[in-house]
Amino acid sequence: MSPSIVKYRTLAIVFLIFFTISCSSGDSSKMALIIEEDRAIADGEVIQELLLTPQIGRIEPGESTPITITGVDSNGTVTDLTNQVTLSTSDSAVATIVSGGANAGLLTGVSADSTDVTVIATYTQFTTPIRSETTVSVSDEPIESITLAPLSTNTNQVCEELGFTATANYRDSRSFEITAVADWSSSPEETSAAGNLGATKGKFGGSDAATVYTLTVNYKGVSANTDINLTGLGDDASLTLAKLESDGTIDDSNVNYDPDEGTIALVALLSLSTEDDPVVINPYANFEMTEDSQALATISALGEFTSQDGVTQASATVSVSCGGISDELNITIDDEDFELVIEDENGNAEAVTYNQGEEVTLSLIEIETEDGEVVERNEVVATTWQIADSRDEDFIDGNIDIEDSGFDAVFTLADDETGEFEIEAIYNNESYTFRITVQEEGAGDGT
């Protein structure tokens, strides 16, 4: 066999091996994709629908506005896909949209046109692409008026959420809904709220049946408003304040809170009757820290609770009210790295035996630990030192004196009483106790 024949036969074998490996690799990738798609279908994780928000009916030439593309799977889970979809318009001479990158989803009007342009979003999760479209008009026609609907709201109750839509009416006789892109406000602001963010756009609620509210919408310098009268809540209405857990459940009993959690969400739940399911009314409710809790924690207008800096052990109370009804929720602040104990002058924190007539000095100590080891000890000033049970007042001679800039509680035991009683210290609305046993003088060593 000639050298040239051997050469070409060798090249053919190498090509055949490479082709076989390439095909096998491609088949393996396709098979893996199919397996992953089958798993996603079984788990309900396949994107079924694309949503383009907000719906932009009309923009002006040179105007830019962002559009968000979200995907909804068969479980109902919503995912932001703005940076993963392919975006385009049907006529880039009329409008453009950015596909990918930092400005993904930015829609810009280029030139006025009598024909609407189509905004197209395409997403391929596995093998089959899905597509969604919306139409946009690009025009420099001015807005002549805005229509608010519904206009009749006299049958609605306080603290309920009302939904409104706003429609812009243009000089060319075309109308477009602007609910999601307009600015909303209400007055008086003290007892009402108008949603102006995301899904709350066009939502309104008020908490006073005696007030006539005004809801105003503004878009590109044109505004419209309507007056709203609300009726009072019925006798069966109730309000519940609760903590919203991460799994969606609620806790309306005493809540334990570790400052390491950061901000936690509280929800105000309104039931119009015992038969009605409660609804969340946070934007229209009035959240407050009770007077004795204001130095311990903060609560936002939407029910976001956070402890104040440096507060490690405390009991704080949040109140919520709307339409003349209210509720409170007690929150126990408990930083696991800190402990508060009462100690005597000898460092005893357990039950201690003293002799009659002996002087006792107690201090409230904050102990910080790390990995089970004490890293810092600090005295704190208790709000109140007192005998835990008023029936035990005869155990001390005179009053409890506060010394050393408020840190130490000093008192003398009576010389004619024996038995047990407790001294109580109040700090940040929490109670701490120290048990004392009094024995006859001369019965043995005390402390």
- Are 177 and 201 contained in the same domain? yes
294 vs 286: CA distance, rounded Å: 15
Q: Which of 92, 117, 138 is the last residue of a domain?
A: 138
Q: Is residue 445 part of a domain?
A: no
CATH number of residue 105's parent domain = 2.60.40.1080
- Are 274 and 300 contained in the same domain? yes
- Are 278 and 330 contained in the same domain? yes
The answer for residues whose C-beta is within 8 angstroms of residue 372's C-beta and 6 or more apart is none
DSSP string, 61-117: TT-EEE-EEEEEETT--EEE-TTTSEEEES-TTTEEE--SSTTTTEEEE-S--SSPE
Q: Is residue 195 part of a domain?
A: yes
CA-wise closest residue to 86 among 65, 75, 100: 100
- Are 348 and 423 contained in the same domain? yes
Q: Is residue 208 part of a domain?
A: yes
Query: Could you give the angle at the alpha carbon of 65 between the alpha carbons of 61 and 66, nearest 5°?
Result: 145
Q: Is residue 447 part of a domain?
A: no
- Domains of the chain: total: 5
Q: Is residue 75 part of a domain?
A: yes
- Are 107 and 160 contained in the same domain? no
Q: Write phi, then psi, for 227 (nearest 5 degrees).
A: -90, 145
Q: Is residue 143 part of a domain?
A: no
Q: What pairing do the DSSP bridges indicate for beta strands 175-177 and 304-307?
A: unpaired
DSSP single-letter state for residue 324: T
CATH number of residue 204's parent domain = 2.60.40
pTM (predicted TM-score): 0.68
Q: Is residue 421 part of a domain?
A: yes
- Are 179 and 117 contained in the same domain? no
- Are 179 and 192 contained in the same domain? yes
- Are 327 and 360 contained in the same domain? no
- Are 309 and 275 contained in the same domain? yes
Q: pLDDT 10s per residue in the chain (447 long)?
A: 444 444 444 444 444 344 444 444 456 666 665 666 666 666 667 888 999 999 899 999 999 999 999 999 888 889 999 999 999 999 999 999 999 999 999 999 999 988 899 999 999 887 789 999 999 999 999 999 999 998 555 557 898 888 999 999 999 999 999 999 999 999 998 888 898 888 889 999 998 888 999 999 999 999 999 999 888 888 899 999 999 888 888 888 889 999 999 999 999 999 988 888 899 999 889 999 999 999 999 999 999 999 999 999 999 999 999 999 999 999 999 999 999 999 999 999 988 999 999 999 999 999 999 888 899 999 999 989 999 999 999 999 999 999 877 789 999 999 999 999 999 999 999 999 999 999 997 766 655
CA-wise closest residue to 213 among 229, 196, 202, 225: 229
Structural domain boundaries, residue 169:
151-229
95 vs 108: CA distance, rounded Å: 6
- Are 256 and 190 contained in the same domain? no
308 vs 268: CA distance, rounded Å: 22
DSSP string, 413-439: E-SS--EEEEEEEEETTEEEEEEEEEE
Contact 438, 413 (CB under 8 A): yes
Q: Which of 95, 115, 138 is the last residue of a domain?
A: 138
Q: Is residue 146 part of a domain?
A: no
Q: Which of 207, 229, 251 is the last residue of a domain?
A: 229
DSSP single-letter state for residue 7: H
- Are 401 and 349 contained in the same domain? yes
- Are 208 and 278 contained in the same domain? no
315 vs 430: CA distance, rounded Å: 6
